[in-house]
Amino acid sequence: MVERQNLVASGYSRLTWLAIGLGFLIILAVSPLFLPRFFTYLLALILITGLVTTSLNIALGFGGMYQFHHAVFYGVGAYTVALMLTKTSLPPALGFILGPIVSGILALVMGMICVRLSKLYFGMLQLSLGSLVWVLVFRWYSFTGGDDGLHGVPVPKLISSVSGSYYFTLIVTVICLILMYVILNAPFGRILQAIRDNPERSESVGVQVRLHQLVTQVIAGFFAGVAGVLFVTVEGSTFPDMMSWTLSLEFLIMCLLGGWFTFLGPMLGATIIVSLRTLLGGYTEYWTMVLAIILMLLIFFLPEGVLGYFEGLYRRRSASLAEDR
């Protein structure tokens, strides 16, 4: 009887979250009809940042890997499509496809080197390799534009307007979030979380830990590359700072702020940080100081993140109600 009640409660919980998700999706779909162009652009930027932070959290929160330079995959995806659109006559759709693929290949190469190590050593080696890619892009003026980046990227007319790029970003982001959710709730995702919690025990029962971690790197890099392509679609430009370690740090903070053991936590963290940076950027030049204060408060008061905190409250309340019954 108790098990049946738990199943019914779980079903209601899923329906509730589904209804909330559909409600937010409807709001996002109709927002450009009422909002000014700037806020439509800001929503697109939040979606892109949320996508790249969610891809980071696949490796960080669900895989337990210290992903210190995730922005390099984001930047490589952006540069791939920007270079194809500005320096070749190939179809734009091909560039949109190759951007994530090239990011995934880079993640594969870097992962084959880094997964030999673990925890902090993994993160430091990835940070070093990512910095090498950043230096190459930053100094190769004849090909990547150097520190100036690439501007005026010719985006297809259908998605060149603010509303067009926004709806394209919204559709692709929703599809990617669904795919990542399915992956994390499939047997592969469950094994990945077991590796995060106890890699030694997982290996002792026959799980190929390094192989799962390598595949996770490719998946995370691929979806980060998708976010990079969307950035070029919205901005029409790309620049070396997109793959800097400081941006990787911002992505990491977004994951921690929203809740790195939750699926939608990184999206919430991205919403908070991007909104604060946009709003406060017009009033102060010391945005990084504000970011540091947020990080300190987060460590002391919300170590599990905002969404993680509320999920913990919900679980404790559900457990309390179950005991009362």
> What angle separates helix 209-235 from helix 92-114, to the nearest 10 degrees?
150
- Structure tokens belonging to residue 110: 């870097």
- Ranges 42-56, 111-125, 154-168, 289-303: which has the least confidence: 289-303
- 73: in domain: yes
- 178: in domain: yes
Residue 88 reports pLDDT greater than 90: no
Q: How far apart are CA 20 and CA 264, in angstroms?
A: 12
- 258: in domain: no
Residue 13 C-beta-side C-alpha neighbours within 13 Å = 10
- 313: in domain: no
Residue 271 reports pLDDT greater than 80: yes
- 311: in domain: no
Cβ count near 22 (within 10 Å): 10
Residues with Cβ within 8 Å of 94's Cβ and at least 6 positions away in sequence, in order, are 84
Q: How far apart are CA 272 and CA 38, in angstroms?
A: 17
- 309: in domain: no
The reported pLDDT for the residue numbered 102 is 97
What is the helix, strand, coil percentage profile of the chain, to 5? 80, 0, 20
244 closest CA partner among 153, 147, 151, 100 = 147
Q: 93: domain range?
A: 18-244
- 231: in domain: yes
Cβ count near 324 (within 10 Å): 6
Split into its structural domains, the chain has a count of 1
In this structure, are residues 258 and 269 in contact, taking their beta carbons and an 8 Å threshold? Answer: yes
- 305: in domain: no
pLDDT in tens, 188-227: 999 999 999 999 899 989 899 999 999 999 999 999 999 9
User: What pTM was estimated for this model as a whole?
Assistant: 0.91
Residue 19 reports pLDDT greater than 70: yes
